[in-house]
């Protein structure tokens, strides 16, 4: 009787996990297979979401891809997709699922990769366990509600909040849009402010050059967007009055005067909340709390291995938004890391099979500081701002044609290249 295949379980089938599955599918020994687990029945090109929450119909423009065995892996592939399925726990050489796979909810692994990314409240990321139909319905509701609103308050002036303000002011000129940001400059976030008491591995985002935030503020202001910096929304507490704003976000029951910390109020009938995200590292912290930083990132070494003394994490790796590899956490970086991780994991597996010490060439973080923030679809004068990081040659302002190129569709046109199966995506 032939031996059962040895599993390399990858948890999460977004940019990091999906790209890693593609790379390992062709580089693992034939006695191994990839087992890719994803809780939602679809993947989403998150960069294009800022348009999909505003512009009706844009959710149809290749924004999402359905995850099935036939869309992810070519016909006859030995590799497996388990979807929709959620990993509930990491054990010593096993993962526990909320659904059965090959007759059991416990799946053994030789290696396991945590590519569980980060969380944000819907619609910014789908709720765990969402179906494509549910998520598309949510996007259509958000589009319709923002389209019908007279005055929209956006809370959070990171890249996503700024881009949503750009899309709204571009698509609905004349609609009252206010962008409230707690920091003194757009794109400056608490994550990009160095943490003086950070642990050795704690993760800090590279700051964005000041002039970019200032340029975006000036362009939004020229379109009539009210940019309120150094302000926070004051959520109601015990002194809430009947009929007043109850702290809800999204479509409000009617227009309310929303209080800010300075004492001023902003009239709004829709509130779009764009807070920062939180890494989905609970599977690892449940095994060893020391393996996760204060900010929630899984601590990894240069060979993508989780740094822990716990035996249950000895053959566990992490990458993408959930892990501490340096760099601005982006889809591009997640895919880049996955190419290196696949080489490292394949080398470890082959060394273990040959009874050799498991070592591989370590990953050198590239710490890209490039960022491009469009304000709409790239037509018109105020297209947004960006900077390109040429390392030794310095940081250069992104030319307008680059911003326009990205703004056209946020590179959604490339999304389906991740899907290596033959079946249709939808």
Q: Which is nearer to ligand FAD, 286 or 311 (CB)?
A: 286
* Two structure tokens written together for 414: 């490339």
The answer to whether the beta carbons of residues 278 and 271 sit under 8 Å apart is no
Q: Which residues contact 152 (CB under 8 A, 6 or more apart)?
A: 146, 168, 175, 176, 177, 178, 268, 269, 270, 271, 272
CA distance 318 to 323: 6
Q: Is residue 38 close enough to count as binding ligand FAD by CB under 6 A?
A: yes
**HSE value, Cβ hemisphere, 13 Å, CA-based, for 255:** 10
CA distance 128 to 140: 19
Q: Is residue 325 close enough to count as binding ligand FAD by CB under 6 A?
A: no
Write down the least CB distance from residue 115 to ligand FAD, Å: 5
Residue from 330, 363, 378, 387 that binds ligand FAD (CB under 6 A)? 330
The answer to whether the beta carbons of residues 68 and 22 sit under 8 Å apart is no
Residue from 9, 12, 151, 308 that binds ligand FAD (CB under 6 A)? 12
**Stretches 12-20, 227-235, 288-296, 378-386: which one binds ligand FAD (CB under 6 A)?**
12-20
Q: Is residue 292 close enough to count as binding ligand FAD by CB under 6 A?
A: no
Q: Which residues contact 312 (CB under 8 A, 6 or more apart)?
A: 90, 91, 92, 93, 287, 288
Q: How many residues bind ligand FAD (CB under 6 A)?
A: 34
**Stretches 237-245, 299-307, 328-336, 392-400: which one binds ligand FAD (CB under 6 A)?**
328-336
Q: Which is nearer to ligand FAD, 37 or 268 (CB)?
A: 37
The answer to whether the beta carbons of residues 36 and 13 sit under 8 Å apart is yes
Q: Is residue 321 close enough to count as binding ligand FAD by CB under 6 A?
A: yes
Of 397-416, binders to ligand FAD (CB under 6 A) are 410
Q: Is residue 35 close enough to count as binding ligand FAD by CB under 6 A?
A: no
**HSE value, Cβ hemisphere, 13 Å, CA-based, for 394:** 2
Q: Which is nearer to ligand FAD, 12 or 65 (CB)?
A: 12
Of 158-197, binders to ligand FAD (CB under 6 A) are 160
Contacts with ligand FAD by CB under 6 A lie at 11-17, 37-40, 46-47, 49-50, 86-87, 115-118, 120, 124-125, 160, 280, 320-321, 329-332, 334, 410
């Amino acid at each position: 009787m032939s031996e059962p295949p040895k599993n390399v379980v990858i948890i999460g089938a977004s940019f990091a996990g999906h790209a890693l599955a593609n790379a390992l599918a062709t580089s693992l020994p034939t006695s191994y297979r990839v087992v890719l687990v994803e809780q939602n029945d679809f993947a989403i090109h998150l960069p294009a979401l800022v348009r999909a929450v505003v512009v009706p119909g844009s959710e149809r423009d290749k924004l999402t891809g359905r995850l099935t065995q036939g869309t992810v892996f070519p016909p006859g592939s030995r590799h497996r997709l388990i979807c929709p399925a959620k990993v509930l726990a990491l054990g010593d050489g096993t993962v526990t699922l909320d659904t059965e796979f090959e007759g059991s909810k416990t799946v053994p692994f030789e290696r396991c990769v945590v590519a569980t990314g980060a969380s944000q409240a819907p619609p910014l990321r789908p709720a765990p366990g969402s179906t494509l139909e549910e998520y598309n319905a949510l996007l259509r509701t958000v589009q319709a509600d923002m389209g019908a609103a007279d005055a929209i308050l956006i809370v959070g002036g990171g890249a996503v909040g700024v881009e949503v303000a750009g899309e709204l002011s571009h698509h609905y000129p004349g609609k009252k849009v206010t962008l409230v940001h707690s920091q003194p400059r757009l794109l400056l976030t608490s994550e990009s402010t160095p943490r003086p008491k950070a642990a050795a591995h704690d993760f800090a985002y590279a700051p964005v050059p000041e002039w970019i935030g200032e340029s975006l503020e000036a362009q939004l202001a020229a379109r009539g967007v009210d940019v309120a910096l150094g302000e926070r929304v004051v959520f109601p507490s015990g002194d809430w009055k009947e009929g007043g704003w109850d702290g809800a976000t999204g479509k409000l029951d009617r227009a309310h005067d929303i209080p800010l910390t300075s004492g001023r109020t902003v009239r709004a009938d829709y509130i779009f909340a764009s807070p920062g995200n939180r890494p989905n590292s609970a599977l690892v912290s449940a095994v060893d709390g020391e393996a996760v930083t204060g900010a929630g990132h899984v601590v990894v070494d240069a060979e993508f291995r989780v740094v822990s003394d716990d035996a249950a994490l000895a053959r566990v790796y992490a990458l993408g938004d959930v892990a501490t590899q340096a760099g601005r956490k982006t889809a591009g970086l997640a895919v880049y890391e996955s190419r290196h991780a696949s080489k490292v994991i394949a080398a470890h597996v082959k060394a273990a099979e040959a009874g050799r010490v498991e070592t591989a060439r370590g990953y050198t973080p590239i710490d890209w500081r490039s960022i491009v923030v469009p304000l709409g679809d790239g037509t018109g004068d105020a297209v947004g701002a960006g900077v390109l990081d040429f390392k030794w040659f310095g940081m250069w302002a992104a030319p307008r044609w680059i911003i326009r190129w990205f703004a056209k569709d946020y590179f959604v046109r490339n999304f389906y290249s991740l899907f290596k199966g033959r079946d249709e995506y939808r």
